[in-house]
Amino acid sequence: MQRKQFNRREVLAAGVAAACAGGAGTSLFAKKQPSFPRGKAEHCIFIWLGGGMAQIDTFDPKRMGDAKKRVPGSYYPAIDTAVKGAKVCEHLSMTARVLDRAAIVRTVNHNVIDEHAAAVNRMHTGRPTSGTIVYPSVGSVIAHQRGPGGENVPAYILMGYPNLTRGPGFLGAKHSYIYLLETKHGPAGLKPPPGISQARQNRREAMLRKMREAYLAKHAGDKKVEDYTAIAENAYRLAGPEFMSAFDLNQEPKSLREAYGGEFGQRCLLSRRLIQRGVRFIEVVQNQNFINGTGWDTHNDGQLKQHVLIQELDRAFATLMTDLEKHKLLDKTIICISSEFGRPAGFDGGGGRGHQSTAFSTVIAGGGLKTGQVIGKTDELSKKIVNTPVSVADWHATIYAAMGIKPTKDLFDPNDRPVPITDGGKPIKALFG
């Protein structure tokens, strides 16, 4: 008789079942799992401000400073908002008027200061980098847990340059993203090369399909190849006119396209159109083209044109919230604004700002959450946390909980080792009514 081989996950499951059958009082596994607030959001738009948004110049303004005289403080005056007692930078005037649809989280923190790449990875995966495992990004986890919200649409789209930090890690290529660099062109990988007719494209696909089938017949169980095969076949389906029509922004009124603003605003508009078709998670990168010369990495004279980025963010974010609301999608969609870290109140030798990770701001809007509030408080120069610290794991747990995903649920790496979705993160309770 052939003996069945059990994998690690089956052994653990059998152990838990046996322990439960023997009585909860005698089992370590029988501890009651903590409950978590469960949101009703169906989609997530993750706005990424790469380089390090200065919270003191945007969503956590303090007393005015002076870059020339090296007096620490805000670079811009603050204004009132629709949320009583909450102020933001003067260049966020449109957002200020609709801030009741959002919540500012002013006390996010981690311990990565000088390395952009490591901090970007921390904010996308919720964990420090590891030499033994590649953790999945927030987008891939949501794609894995929720899948696409419609037929023949991807679960995860990235509007920005692709890299490992945004990827699926140990979840595998099946839960990765489709990306585009410019809204007017759409995802390049879904379009045949110039001069390739549909008939020729069909012949190519048929030939590739036979090659994949022949390879898998000889190498059954090769998960990487199986995943890439599934991706290729899905891409072929996505290349049809129904999904690709989402990228034709000319179908929208000219007045609305103008309200959103330039390329970043058009990405936000496209996000709404993609959500309407069922895309689950969309990351929208703002500073790809460095319209102010430096992006959000405002060392030295990068500070001088920081307001260009802030104004662009203000226009697109405020319009996105009201546009989603008009289409009755805001309560079904969470919009997150995040950056790898913040900036200190003091100015460097060139009049710009360095890096700060002890306290910085993120924003979350919509999703049926309890918005119109500020979470956490920092000191007089936005350097130290006064109350309600929010770890990166807590920030991720909040996003997952808003999407109805249990933050403590286990994923399994290729060796069948359980990996909790967050690194002990707890959702911000104040956001869940």
How far apart (Å, rounded) are the C-alpha atoms in residues 270 and 306?
Answer: 25
The burial class, CB within 10 Å (0-12 / 13-18 / 19+), for 361 is: buried
Assess whether 261 and 399 both reside in one domain: yes
Whether 292 shows a pLDDT value over 50: the answer reads yes
Q: What is the mean pLDDT of residues 9-27?
A: 44
Beta strands in 273-358 (DSSP E): 281-285, 333-338
Assess whether 121 and 42 both reside in one domain: yes
**Chain segment 83-93, per-residue pLDDT in tens:** 999 999 999 99
Assess whether 388 and 406 both reside in one domain: yes
Whether 22 shows a pLDDT value over 50: the answer reads no
Which one-letter amino acid corresponds to residue 91?
A: H
Beta strands in 170-318 (DSSP E): 178-180, 281-285
In a domain, 159, yes or no: yes
How far apart (Å, rounded) are the C-alpha atoms in residues 372 and 56?
Answer: 20
**Chain segment 31-72, per-residue pLDDT in tens:** 555 678 889 999 999 999 999 999 999 999 999 999 999 999
Q: In whole angstroms, how far apart are CA 168 and each of 171, 381, 410?
A: 5, 37, 15
Nearest 10 degrees: Cα torsion 45, 51, 52, 58: -70
How far apart (Å, rounded) are the C-alpha atoms in residues 346 and 305?
Answer: 17
Nearest 10 degrees: Cα torsion 302, 306, 309, 313: 140
Q: What is the mean pLDDT of residues 10-38?
A: 51
Domain range for residue 200?
192-238
In a domain, 308, yes or no: yes
Given this model, what pLDDT does residue 14 score?
Answer: 47
Given this model, what pLDDT does residue 8 score?
Answer: 53
Whether 164 shows a pLDDT value over 60: the answer reads yes
Assess whether 208 and 273 both reside in one domain: no
> What's the total number of domains in the chain?
2
Assess whether 261 and 233 both reside in one domain: no
Biggest distance spanned by C-alpha atoms of the chain: 84
Assess whether 183 and 201 both reside in one domain: no
Assess whether 89 and 179 both reside in one domain: yes
pLDDT band at 18 (very low <50, low <70, confident <90, very high): very low
pLDDT band at 349 (very low <50, low <70, confident <90, very high): confident
Low-confidence winner among 57-71, 181-195, 337-351 (lowest mean pLDDT)? 181-195
DSSP H stretches of helix in 126-178: 138-146
What's this model's pTM, rounded to 2 decimal places?
Answer: 0.86
Whether 135 shows a pLDDT value over 90: the answer reads yes
Query: What is the 8-class DSSP label of residue 64?
Result: B
Beta strands in 319-371 (DSSP E): 333-338, 360-366
Q: What is the mean pLDDT of residues 320-331?
A: 98
Q: At a CB cut-off of 8 Å and minimum separation 6, what does 173 contact?
A: 224, 227, 228, 231
Given this model, what pLDDT does residue 269 score?
Answer: 98
Which residues lie across from 156 on neighbouring strands?
Answer: 281
Radius of gyration of the chain (CA): 23
Given this model, what pLDDT does residue 319 score?
Answer: 98
Q: What is the mean pLDDT of residues 370-376?
A: 98
In a domain, 22, yes or no: no
CATH number at residue 415: 3.40.720.10
In the predicted model, what is the mean pLDDT of the chain? 88
Given this model, what pLDDT does residue 188 score?
Answer: 66
Beta strands in 343-384 (DSSP E): 360-366, 373-375, 377-378
Start-to-end CA distance of the chain, whole Å, equals: 57
Assess whether 221 and 148 both reside in one domain: no
Which residues lie across from 365 on neighbouring strands?
Answer: 102, 335
Whether 255 shows a pLDDT value over 90: the answer reads yes
Assess whether 347 and 423 both reside in one domain: yes
Given this model, what pLDDT does residue 19 score?
Answer: 41
Assess whether 172 and 305 both reside in one domain: yes
- Decide: helix, strand or coil at residue 283: strand
Given this model, what pLDDT does residue 126 score?
Answer: 97
In a domain, 8, yes or no: no
Highest average pLDDT, of 21-30, 138-147, 224-233, comes from: 138-147
Given this model, what pLDDT does residue 30 score?
Answer: 44
In a domain, 7, yes or no: no
Whether 375 shows a pLDDT value over 60: the answer reads yes
Given this model, what pLDDT does residue 33 score?
Answer: 57
DSSP H stretches of helix in 296-377: 306-326
**Chain segment 95-113, per-residue pLDDT in tens:** 999 999 999 999 999 999 8
Assess whether 87 and 164 both reside in one domain: yes
